[in-house]
C-alpha cells in the first residue's frame, strides 16, 4: 500500500486488533491461573505490539511518508499467540468512544524526559496497546501488562514470581504505568504503584501515563490521591496533536477528503452545536456533555458560496469505517446527511442547512409517516444487529432507575408489568437500531424534508442497550414524540408492514416502559452533573418522562 493517511489508518486498525487479541489471551491465562505470570505468550504479545507501535510512530512522525519497515520476526511472533479456540475480547473504550488516539501516548512519552531504561507496565484492557506505544517511543524494552482485579474501588494485582523478577530487575530505574483514566477511584493505577512500592521501588521512580489531566474521582483512597499528586503525569491531547495551528493535521485531512480548503474551524462539542443556526426563540435541547463525542465544524467560503462539514469522532479502525458505510446507506435512502468519508477515526459529513423550525411544528401525520418509513427501512435493510441487552436486562435496569428516581412504587409497578408481558409471543430480532429518536435529533430542511442528524452511533454507545428489536425503536418514537395510543398503533402497523412483521401492543408497552426507565436513569445522572442553565432542560425532560411513565404503568391515556 502506498504511503499516506489510509496506510496509517490500516496500521492503527491492525494494532488495535492485535492489542485486543493479546489482552484476551492474557486474560484467559489470568482467569485460569489466578495470577499474571511471565510466559511465552506475554513475551510474544509484548514484542509484537512493540513492532507495530514502532511502525505507527514512524509513519506518524514522517507525515505518513516514506517506506514501512517491520521487524522480519513479526510473522513468527503472531504465530506464537496461541490460545483457546474462543477468546473473550474487550473493546478498548478510548479508541471507540473518546478520541483516544494511540499516537497521543507516543507523543507524551517523547516529551516525558524518560529514558530507554524505563520499565513500562500496561494495565489491561487498553493499556496493553497504549504501553507498547510508550515503550516504542522511549526505545525501552517491550511492555508487560497486568490485570488489576477485585472491587472496582479497591483493585489489586497478583503477580507470579517470574514476572515479578523481570519487573523488579530494574528497580533502580524509572517505571511508567500506562492506562486510560483515572476513573472514580484510580485504583487500577494505584494497585500497580502499590505493588511496586511494596516490593522496594521508590515512589520517586514511578511515573503515570493517563488519558486526562484530572485527579482520581470521589472514591479514591487518600493514599492514592496523595501519590497521584506527588508523581509526574505524562499526557498529551488530541487537540494539540490534531488542531495545533502549526500542524493543523485534522483540518488538512478534511481538506484532502472533501476537496474544500479549510477557511475556519471550531469545536462544537459539549452542546455548543446548539448555537449554530438556532431560531431566536428555539427551545434549548438538553445535553450531557460528558458523553458527547468530540465534534467540529469545518467551514469555507468559495465563490460567494459557503460549504460546511461536521467532523465527529466515530471510532478508530473498523468501528469508524462501519459507521461511515451505515451513514452512506441511510443517505442514499434519503434519511441522513451525505457522508464524505473518514479521517483517522473522525466521520466527515455534509452540514445540513435547516429551516430553523423543529420537527414538532410539522403536521403530525407527516411526522408519523416519516418515522414509519425510517424505522421500516432500518428494520428491513439494517437487520444485521450486533450485541445488545436482553429484555430481562432492560427491565431490571428500568425497575432500578424508576425506584431510585421516582420511588419504590413505580419500580414495583414496572416489575409487575414485566412479569405479565415479559415473554413476547413472537421471537425478538435484533436490528441495527438507531436508539436516539429525540425530537431535537431531526433536521427540517428549507424544502420541508426531514433528515436524521445522528443515525450511526447510538447502538454502539458506551451504555447497556446496544442493538435491539424494532419494538424498541417504535417505543422510543412513542415516548419522544408523545404519541397517543392510536398514533402509536398507527406507527406500529406501518412499521410492521414495511418490516414484514407485527408489533403487538403488550410488547410495545413493555418496551416503552423499559425505554422510559433507561432514559430516566441516563438523564438523572446528567442532571446531577449539570450546572447553571443546563439543568432546566434536563429537569423538564425528566418531568415529561415521569408523567408518561405514570400513565403507562397505570394503564391510562395521558
Using one digit for the tens of pLDDT, what is the confidence trace for 251-274? 999 999 998 787 889 999 999 998
Sheet holding 339-343, edge to edge: 264-267, 295-302, 305-313, 346-350, 339-343
Kindly state whether residue 379 falls inside one of the protein's structural domains: yes
SS3 assignment for 265-280 = EEECCCCHHHHCCCCC
Q: What CATH number does the domain containing 416 carry? A: 3.90.1200.10
pTM: 0.92
pLDDT at 73: 85
Contact between 309 and 333 under an 8 Å Cβ cutoff? The reply is no
Q: Is 324 helix (H, G, I), strand (E, B) or coil?
A: helix
Same-domain check for residues 336 and 381: no
Kindly state whether residue 316 falls inside one of the protein's structural domains: yes
Closest CA to 375 of 506, 462, 517, 497: 497
pLDDT higher than threshold 70 for residue 426: no
Q: Tell me how long the chain is.
A: 558
Kindly state whether residue 202 falls inside one of the protein's structural domains: yes
* Digit-coded pLDDT (tens) for 472-502: 999 999 999 999 999 999 999 999 999 877 7
Kindly state whether residue 255 falls inside one of the protein's structural domains: no
Same-domain check for residues 323 and 265: yes
Same-domain check for residues 161 and 230: yes
What is the C-alpha separation between 72 and 183, in angstroms, rounded?
39
Contact between 441 and 454 under an 8 Å Cβ cutoff? The reply is yes
* Total domains present in the chain: 3
What is the C-alpha separation between 32 and 94, in angstroms, rounded?
27
What is the C-alpha separation between 501 and 426, in angstroms, rounded?
9
Residue spans of alpha helices (H) in 34-92:
40-61, 74-79
Contact between 5 and 343 under an 8 Å Cβ cutoff? The reply is yes
Same-domain check for residues 399 and 483: yes
Kindly state whether residue 282 falls inside one of the protein's structural domains: yes
* Digit-coded pLDDT (tens) for 104-163: 999 999 999 999 999 999 999 999 999 999 999 999 999 999 999 999 999 999 999 999
Q: What CATH number does the domain containing 124 carry? A: 3.40.50
Q: Which domain holds residue 444?
A: 359-554
Kindly state whether residue 247 falls inside one of the protein's structural domains: no
User: Domain boundary residue among 315, 350, 385?
Assistant: 350
- Kindly report the backbone phi and psi dihedral angles of residue 446, in degrees, each rounded to the nearest multiple of 5, phi listed first: -55, -30
Give DSSP secondary structure letters for 175-208.
Answer: EEEE-S---SS-HHHHHHHHHHHHTT--GGGEEE
Same-domain check for residues 229 and 281: no
User: Domain boundary residue among 350, 380, 399?
Assistant: 350
Same-domain check for residues 222 and 303: no
Same-domain check for residues 400 and 537: yes
pLDDT at 422: 64
Same-domain check for residues 364 and 346: no
Going by pLDDT thresholds of 50, 70 and 90, the confidence category of residue 532 is very high
What's the whole-number mean pLDDT along residues 203-212?
A: 97
* Digit-coded pLDDT (tens) for 348-401: 999 998 988 999 999 999 999 999 999 999 999 997 767 899 999 999 999 999
Q: Is 58 helix (H, G, I), strand (E, B) or coil?
A: helix
pLDDT at 48: 96
User: How many other CB atoms are there within 10 angstroms of residue 500's CB atom?
Assistant: 9
User: Domain boundary residue among 350, 381, 406?
Assistant: 350
145 membership: H or E segment, kind and range: strand 144-146
Kindly state whether residue 442 falls inside one of the protein's structural domains: yes
pLDDT at 96: 93
Least confident of 94-108, 154-168, 189-203, 247-261: 247-261
Closest CA to 178 of 240, 94, 88: 94
pLDDT at 144: 95
> How many alpha carbons fall within 13 Å on the CB side of residue 441?
19
Taking the mean position of all CA atoms in its chain, how far away is CA 86? 25
pLDDT at 425: 56
Strand duo 119-123 + 175-178: pairing: parallel
Same-domain check for residues 138 and 10: yes
What is the C-alpha separation between 347 and 364, in angstroms, rounded?
32
Same-domain check for residues 343 and 390: no
Q: What is the CA radius of gyration of the chain?
A: 25
Same-domain check for residues 29 and 122: yes
Kindly state whether residue 243 falls inside one of the protein's structural domains: no
Contact between 97 and 111 under an 8 Å Cβ cutoff? The reply is no
Same-domain check for residues 345 and 364: no
SS3 assignment for 485-535 = HHHHHHHHHHHHHHHCCCCCHHHHHHHHHHHHHHHHHHHHHHHHHCCHHHH
Amino acid at each position: 500500500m502506498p504511503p499516506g493517511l489510509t496506510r496509517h489508518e490500516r496500521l492503527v486498525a491492525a494494532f488495535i486488533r492485535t492489542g485486543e487479541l493479546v489482552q484476551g489471551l492474557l486474560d484467559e491465562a489470568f482467569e485460569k491461573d489466578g495470577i499474571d505470570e511471565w510466559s511465552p505468550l506475554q513475551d510474544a504479545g509484548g514484542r509484537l505490539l512493540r513492532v507495530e507501535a514502532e511502525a505507527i510512530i514512524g509513519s506518524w512522525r514522517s507525515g505518513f511518508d516514506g517506506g514501512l519497515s517491520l521487524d522480519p520476526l513479526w510473522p513468527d511472533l503472531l504465530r506464537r499467540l496461541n490460545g483457546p479456540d474462543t477468546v473473550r475480547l474487550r473493546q478498548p473504550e478510548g479508541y471507540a468512544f473518546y478520541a483516544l488516539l494511540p499516537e497521543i501516548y507516543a507523543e507524551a512519552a517523547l516529551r516525558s524526559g524518560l529514558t530507554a531504561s524505563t520499565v513500562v507496565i500496561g494495565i489491561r484492557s487498553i493499556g496493553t496497546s497504549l504501553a507498547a506505544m510508550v515503550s516504542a517511543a522511549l526505545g525501552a524494552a517491550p511492555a508487560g501488562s497486568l490485570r488489576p482485579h477485585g472491587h472496582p474501588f479497591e483493585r489489586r494485582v497478583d503477580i507470579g514470581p517470574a514476572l515479578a523478577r523481570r519487573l523488579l530487575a530494574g528497580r533502580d530505574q524509572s517505571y511508567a504505568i500506562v492506562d486510560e483514566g483515572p476513573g472514580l477511584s484510580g485504583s487500577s493505577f494505584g494497585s500497580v504503584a502499590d505493588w511496586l512500592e511494596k516490593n522496594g521501588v521508590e515512589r520517586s521512580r514511578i511515573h503515570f501515563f493517563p488519558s486526562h489531566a484530572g485527579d482520581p474521582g470521589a472514591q479514591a483512597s487518600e493514599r492514592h490521591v496523595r501519590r497521584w499528586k506527588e508523581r509526574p503525569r505524562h499526557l498529551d491531547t488530541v487537540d494539540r496533536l490534531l488542531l495545533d495551528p502549526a500542524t493543523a493535521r485534522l483540518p488538512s485531512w478534511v481538506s484532502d477528503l472533501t476537496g474544500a480548503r479549510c477557511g475556519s474551524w471550531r469545536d462544537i462539542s459539549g452542546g455548543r452545536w446548539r448555537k449554530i443556526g438556532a431560531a431566536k426563540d428555539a427551545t434549548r435541547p438538553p445535553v450531557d456533555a460528558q458523553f458527547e463525542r468530540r465534534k467540529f465544524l469545518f467551514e469555507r467560503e468559495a465563490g460567494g458560496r459557503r460549504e460546511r462539514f461536521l467532523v465527529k469522532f466515530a471510532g478508530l479502525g473498523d468501528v469508524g469505517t462501519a459507521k461511515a458505510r451505515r451513514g452512506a446507506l441511510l443517505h442514499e435512502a434519503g434519511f441522513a446527511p451525505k457522508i464524505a468519508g473518514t479521517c483517522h477515526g473522525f466521520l466527515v459529513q455534509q452540514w445540513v442547512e435547516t429551516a430553523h423550525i423543529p420537527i414538532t411544528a410539522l403536521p403530525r401525520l407527516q411526522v408519523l409517516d416519516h418515522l414509519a418509513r425510517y424505522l421500516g427501512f432500518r428494520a428491513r435493510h439494517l437487520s444485521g444487529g450486533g450485541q445488545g441487552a436482553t429484555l430481562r436486562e432492560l427491565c431490571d435496569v428500568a425497575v432500578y432507575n424508576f425506584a431510585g428516581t421516582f420511588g419504590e412504587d413505580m419500580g414495583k409497578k414496572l416489575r409487575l408489568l414485566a412479569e405479565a408481558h415479559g415473554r413476547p409471543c413472537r421471537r425478538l430480532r435484533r436490528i441495527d437500531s438507531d436508539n436516539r429518536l429525540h425530537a431535537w435529533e431531526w433536521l427540517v430542511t428549507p424544502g420541508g424534508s426531514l433528515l436524521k442528524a445522528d443515525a450511526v452511533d447510538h447502538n454502539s454507545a458506551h451504555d447497556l442497550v446496544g442493538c435491539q428489536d424494532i419494538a424498541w425503536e417504535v417505543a422510543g418514537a412513542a415516548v419522544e414524540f408523545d404519541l397517543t395510543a392510536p398514533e402509536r398503533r398507527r406507527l406500529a402497523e406501518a412499521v410492521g408492514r414495511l418490516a414484514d412483521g407485527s408489533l403487538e401492543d403488550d410488547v410495545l408497552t413493555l418496551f416503552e416502559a423499559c425505554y422510559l426507565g433507561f432514559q430516566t436513569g441516563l438523564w438523572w445522572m446528567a442532571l446531577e452533573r449539570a450546572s447553571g442553565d443546563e439543568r432546566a432542560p434536563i429537569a423538564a425532560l425528566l418531568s415529561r418522562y415521569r408523567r408518561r411513565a405514570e400513565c403507562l404503568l397505570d394503564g391510562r391515556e395521558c
